[in-house]
Structure 1
């Protein structure tokens, strides 16, 4: 029997012989993931379940794992994942390759495109006194900015949005056959873009997707499979996370009129405000690792080969690190904020994501008058592994006169 901080003799046993401390998929957890994780952090901060293996809720424990890539491997799937699912030394070369696509110069150059997209979406909504945020703003924005960043055509907007929904449903159902089929469908979209560039001759577009096809690792040109994996990781992460972030921020501002009013008057506060709002309610719930050797975390013994799940959404609300952790304090030190991860796998696109969110919220505050939650229409929480909201309705006082359309 492994060491157990709960010392509960009636705890259920998993097939592996570990005590099952909680059920991450229970209705109680899914009704409000953030509150449930707060409770777990206090009650059983290193908890075992059949679904997630070992779940870590404290900031220090999460940081211990993500900062120690030798003891906790990112190779968590039988399917190749470039570079997210790699460890050094293999990870190092691919990571250096992709970082060149997220320089501040590239981010700054792409900002006008994001501003145009945000303006077009808001312009189409300004005549309405209320709308559903996720389907009409958050999700379309995520798809369009990602396609714009990679140089993909407008014809992919709807297929990608439908793909995100199908992938989410299959993941929730743990339907591995459907998930494999859906993954192949996504790969076909990417391969079609690669094929179009391969045979375009002198008409090939000069975009990031084309540039990736010219890159080499160790003197060898990137294979299609590697490029597909890189683009899949970028796009799947971007579509879900950016949409979730927009929903979380709009929800917070709709509930907090004083803060919304303050940010309308002083947009210089937006970057810190956005990071703090997303610290309070994480868009990315967790990441996985595999222990490569026996390690003690808290007072629990984790063995080599055990699955480990770091719960970002809990670590970022740990009162041992963040004073008044459940309070909005944008002036606090954001250095411990794990919104974009930590260690060698810290998000390479953090600057890009921050810009995209700042631009969208700036455009929203500039173009739409004061907004609140629609009475009688409660927001719907997303279900693990998704964070944020599945549905959110707001009502507005109408479009501001300063609205700038496309």
Structure 2
């Protein structure tokens, strides 16, 4: 009988929640493969995370009885579904969507109060993430409210780990998707958007089921909304704290893309990802039994000095080849081109206002609680340039 593993750390501890980056940075240096009752085996070094990402045979993505399409699949099943969805994020599709994305960004940016304090998450990041995702999928403005409400409820249930409520919310999301599919199947419906196209998709010659479509859309929606909203909050807070960089980007908007990659390397929008060991394996000086649950810590890996020179310094000119912001291996984020465009466009519109993003004196950002990343609240103001 295997004896229980003594925890090396507590991810829910107050000091970890106050500054998760500093906590995992310290843990990475003295215990790079750390066990906890909450996250089981946490991998914090870049090399160890990269090894897992490139070895799906040993570290499986099938971590739940509820299969996520295609993120929760392994080859060869994953390969077939991945091949079907990748064209939805082609350069042509992303470029075609950019004007609509820019219009959404401009409308939200123009509505921000100038001079007065506002919460960047509630008034910009989340509305932008929800609206661009609905627009990309071909959902209407009427769907914004329902999806926003569901996103807030799902986020709260995830933080509280309320399993029963999460199961109910999964059913609710299925209902949201069912309404979308029924709208497009109605007699006389003439809809040719991303959602309608997905309904015609086949994998290995077999049409996608409604459950598979719902899983794909949930993956796109929950993942995209959460990561885009977190990214916007991180970027805006960071630029407000670094006025010279903000001024440089305003004067040279062509430098926004590498700045986005580097800022989000330093403080990532995604906290963790899961795998399961399919066999006994040694990694980072620890022995993991078959069936061990493994947690990959993206930001800790992206701040590893063994992978990045002066890892904690902002250096947008550095090569981003090792940056795990969008993952790596067979599960590298297929929506990365869309996300990059959305973040670039939002910053272009925000920086073109002619005002300066500034912190609110006496009001500090509120860190998001695991499993979320980034900020839960970011008080900012739009000030006149000095």
State the TM-score bracket (shorter-chain normalisation): over 0.9
SS at match of 1:188: helix
Q: Where do residues 379-398 of structure 1 align in structure 2 (5 Å cutoff)?
A: 379-397=365-383
CA distance in 2, matches of 1:322, 1:163: 38
Q: Tell me by how many angstroms 1:247 deviates.
A: 0.4
- Structure-2 separation of matches of 1:398 and 1:161: 32
What TM-score, normalized by structure 1, do the two folds share? 0.93
Distance (whole Å) between structure 2 residues aligned to residue 396 and residue 208 of structure 1: 36
CA distance, structure 2, for counterparts of residue 117 and residue 224 of structure 1? 29
Q: Give how far 1:66 is off.
A: 0.9
Aligned to 1:215: 201
Distance 1:143 1:348 in 2: 19
1:269 lines up with 2:251 in the alignment: no
| TM-score, L = length of structure 2 | 0.97
- Distance, in Å, in 2 between the alignment partners of 1:245 and 1:125 is 18
- 1:85 aligned onto 2:68: no
Aligned alpha-carbon RMSD (Å) = 1.5
Choose from 175, 195, 220 the match for 1:188: 175
Aligned to 1:112: 99
Residue pairs, 1:373-384, within 5 angstroms: 373-384=359-370
Helix, strand or coil: the match of 2:352? helix
Q: Is the 8 A contact 1:368 1:396 kept in 2?
A: no
Secondary structure of the 1:160 match is helix
Which residue matches 2:239? Answer: 253
Q: Using a 3 Å threshold, how does the CA distance of structure 1 residues 187 and 128 change in structure 2: closer, same or farther?
A: farther
> What per-residue deviation string (whole Å, max 9, x for no partner) do you get for residues 120-161 of structure 1?
001111555331100000000000000000001111212222
- Give the Å deviation of 1:173: 1.6
Matched position secondary structure for 1:211 = helix
Q: Distance in 2 between matches of 1:173 and 1:99?
A: 33
Gaps of 5+ in 1: 3-15, 400-406
Q: Deviations over 1:339-392 (max 9, x none)?
A: 000010000011110000000011000025012100011100001111100001
Over 2 Å off, 4+ runs: 126-130, 201-204
SS at match of 1:340: coil
Correspondence for 1:371 among 357, 362, 367: 357
- Mapped to 2, the partners of 1:365 and 1:130 lie a distance apart of 17
- How much has 1:204 moved relative to structure 2? 2.6
Q: How many residues align?
A: 386
Contact 2:115–2:383 (CA under 8 A) maintained in structure 1: no
Within a 5 Å distance, the mapping from 1:222-301 to structure 2 comes to 222-301=208-287
Higher alpha-carbon deviation: 175-184 or 125-134: 125-134
The corresponding residue for 1:162 is 149
Question: Are the aligned partners of 1:72 and 1:290 in contact in 2 as well (CA < 8 Å)?
Answer: yes
Instruction: Please list the CA deviations of residues 182-239 of structure 1 after superposition, one character each: whole Å capped at 9, or x if unmatched.
Output: 111112111110111111x343311010011111112211110110100010000011
Structure 2 counterparts to residues 17-28 of structure 1, below 5 A = 17-28=4-15
Three-state SS of the structure 1 residue aligned to 2:290 is coil
Q: Does 1:32 align with 2:19?
A: yes
Partner-residue secondary structure (3-state), 2:22: helix
Q: Give 1:349's match in structure 2, choosing from 335, 354, 358.
A: 335
Q: Does the CA-based 8 Å contact 1:129-1:398 persist in structure 2? A: no
TM superposition shift of 1:398: 5.0
The corresponding residue for 2:189 is: 203
Write the distance in 1 (CA, Å) between the matches of 2:40 and 2:273. 12
